Amino acid sequence: MNDTRVIIVGAGPVGLTLSLALADLGVNCILLEKNDTPSGLPKMERCNARTMEIYRRLGIVDDIRAAGLPEECPMDVFVVTRLVDEPILRLPYGSVKECKADIAAHNDGTRTLEPYQLISQYTLEPLLKKFAEQSEYIDVRFGHEFIKFDDKGDHVSVQVKKTDGTDITLTADYLVGCDGGASPVRKQLGIKLNGDGEMLSLHQALFRCDDLYERIPIGKGRHYHVCDEKSGFVIVQDDTKHFTFHAVVDDESDMTKRFEEVVGMPIEFETLYIGKWTQRLLVADRYGEGRVLIAGDAAHLVIPTGGLGMNTGVGDVIDLAWKLQGTLAGWGGEQLLKSYLSERRQIGARNVAASGRANAGRYRWRSQWKPEIRDRTPEGAEIRRKVAEIADVEQRKTNEILGIEAGYRYVDSPLIWSEPGEGPDPDRQDYIPTTWPGFRLPHVWLKDGSAIQDRIGKGYTLLRFDNEEIDLSELINQFENSGAPFDVLSLDDPHAVEVYEGYKLFLLRPDIHIIWRGNAPPDDPALLISIATGHNN
C-alpha cells in the first residue's frame, strides 16, 4: 500500500496548483518542499487571463484578486528615461475593474472570462499553501527535501531528508517534479534542456518604498522600462509599496544607486534583497518517463518577457491533473497520460519561442539608446522619437499576447478528434475565438447571464445546443458505460451557436478543451470515446 497516489516535489505556484487541481478531483497527494517557508521573493508578478480562468474553476479566484493589486489600479506600461521625465512611450492597459467591465460588455467570444491579476509570488505562494493545507486530500510537507527516486514500474519510491536531518522514504503511484529550473527530478531522469541558456545576466533588487507609487509624476502603471545601457526596468508589486528593479551592473552594490538615479527624485526606501539571475530560454527534451513527470520551470525556462513562465506551468498541471486522475481511476487508456508529454511540450516550446520574440522586440527599441537620450536638444528628441516608434510596435509583443496566453491548441494530440485541413494558426499573438478541436472553448455569456465555463463540470461534457432534437443516445450511453466522469449540458442559446461558428454539438475535456464538434451524431461514437479517454492506440 503506497503512502499516497501522487508525490509532488516543489511547492512553488506550479506545485501548489497541481496539488489543488488533484484535490479538486479527489486525488490524494503529498507535496514536498525543501524550504521551511514559502519564498519571499517576487519571481513572478502576474497571473494571466487563462490562469485566472483556471483558478476560477478551482474556486479560488476571488481570494487571489483580494490578495493582489487593487482592482482600480491601472496596468499601464511605460518606456522612460527616469520616473520624473516625460515618458518616451506609455501603453495604456486597463485595470482589473475596467477589464471586467469590458468583458461584461462583450459577448462575441473575443474576451476571456477572467482578466489578468497582478499578484506577487511572495503573496500567491502563502495563499495557495493555505488552501492546500485546508484540503483533506493534500499532505503539505515543508522542510522536506527530495533526494532521489526509484521508479519500480508499478509505483515510485522517493527518498526525502527532513530539516532535522531525518531520512524517510515515501511511496506513490506517480511522482511529479515541479522543482524549478535546476530540477533534481529532471536531472535524475537524464532529461536535457535545449535552447539559449546564457542570454543576459542581470541583478534583481527588491525595495520597499511606501510612498513612491503615489508620487510617480508621469502616471501609475505596473512596468517602467528604462531606456538605458543597463537594460533597467522597474516593476510595481501587488501592494504598491514594494518594487523590483532589474539592471545590468558590475556589482550588486551598484543597484541601490542606480535605482535612485532611475527614480530621479529624493525617496526613502529599504533594500530587502539583491541577487543575480540569468535570462534563459530552454525547453526539456521530454516531460517525463515512466511514472515520473515534470512540469513548470523543471520542463521549460521562460524569461519574464511576456509573463509566460509560471502561467505556462499552471497550464501544464491543469492538463496533467485530470489525466493522472483518469489513469489512477482506471478509466483512462494508455494514451491518456502519454498525451501530457506531447501536448504540453509543444506548448512549452511555443511559449519559449513567443517569449524569445518578445525579448528580441525589446532589444530592438533598446538598441536605439544613445547617451544623449535625455538631452533637451533636437538630437535627444529624435532619439526618443525613434525609440517610441519602435517600442510602440515591439513592446506590444510582450504585453498584447492573449492568443499565446489563451489561444493555445493541442495539435496532433491523440486525445483530439482530427478534422480535415490545417486549422487556425495555433501560434498567433492576437486571440481569435474558434471551436476547432484542440482549442479551449471560447467564453460566452449565456442568455440567462451566466458564463458557459461556470456551467461545465469537472469531467467530460457533451455540450449541446440542439434542443435535444439530435439522437445522441448511442454516444451518451457508451460514454456513461466507459467509467469516465461524464455530463450532458443541454442549452438553448442561438447566440452561443453563432459565436461557436454554427456548431451545436461539442465534446469537451475536463480542461474545457474541445475534443470534437459537429451538427450530427459522430459517425463512430465508440471511436470518439476511445480517442477522448486515451484508449485509441
Name the phi and psi angles at 247, rounded to 5.
-165, 155
* Burial of residue 521 (number of CB atoms within 10 Å: 0-12, 13-18, 19+): middle
From first CA to last CA, the distance across the chain in angstroms is 30
Q: Which helix (H) or strand (E) holds 170?
A: strand 167-177
What is the structure's pLDDT at 197?
Answer: 77
What is the structure's pLDDT at 41?
Answer: 81
**What letter would DSSP give residue 24?**
H
- What's this model's pTM, rounded to 2 decimal places? 0.97
Side-chain-facing half-sphere of 291: CA atoms under 13 Å: 20
Cα(413)–Cα(347) distance, integer angstroms: 12
User: From the centroid of its chain, how far is CA 31?
Assistant: 20
DSSP string covering 320-374: HHHHHHHHHHT---HHHHHHHHHHHHHHHHHHHHHHHHHHHHHHHHHTT--GGGG
Cα(137)–Cα(133) distance, integer angstroms: 9
Cα(363)–Cα(386) distance, integer angstroms: 13
The three three-digit cell numbers of residue 64, written as one number: 487571489
Residue with cell string 478551482: 58
Q: 437 with 419: CB under 8 angstroms?
A: yes
Residue with cell string 513548470: 296
Q: How many CB atoms lie within 10 A of CB 166?
A: 9
Q: 508 with 469: CB under 8 angstroms?
A: no
Q: Which helix (H) or strand (E) holds 47?
A: strand 46-47
Cα(420)–Cα(278) distance, integer angstroms: 44
Strand order in the sheet with 300-301: 193-196, 281-284, 300-301
Cα(379)–Cα(364) distance, integer angstroms: 19
What is the structure's pLDDT at 305?
Answer: 76
User: From the centroid of its chain, how far is CA 393?
Assistant: 24
Residue with cell string 459517425: 523
Side-chain-facing half-sphere of 67: CA atoms under 13 Å: 19
Domains of the chain: 4-68+119-196+283-352 (3.50.50.60), 72-114+200-278+367-405 (3.30.9.10), 407-532 (3.40.30.120)
What three-state secondary structure class fits 187?
Answer: helix
Q: Is the dihedral of CA 205, 396, 500, 526 positive or negative?
A: negative
Q: Which of 10, 17, 43, 60 is nearest to 319 (CA)?
A: 17
DSSP string covering 411-438: TT-TTS---SS--S-TT-SS------TT
The three three-digit cell numbers of residue 162, written as one number: 527532513
What three-state secondary structure class fits 36?
Answer: coil
What is the structure's pLDDT at 200?
Answer: 84
What is the structure's pLDDT at 124?
Answer: 97
Q: 249 with 255: CB under 8 angstroms?
A: yes
What is the structure's pLDDT at 306?
Answer: 77
Sequence-distant (≥ 6) Cβ neighbours of residue 487 within 8 angstroms: 457, 459, 460, 461, 462
Please, what are the averages of pLDDT over each run of 10 residues along the chain (537 residues)? Answer: 97 98 98 93 90 98 98 97 97 98 98 97 97 98 98 98 96 98 97 88 95 96 95 95 95 94 96 93 97 98 86 98 98 98 97 92 94 96 97 94 96 96 92 98 97 98 97 97 97 98 98 98 97 94
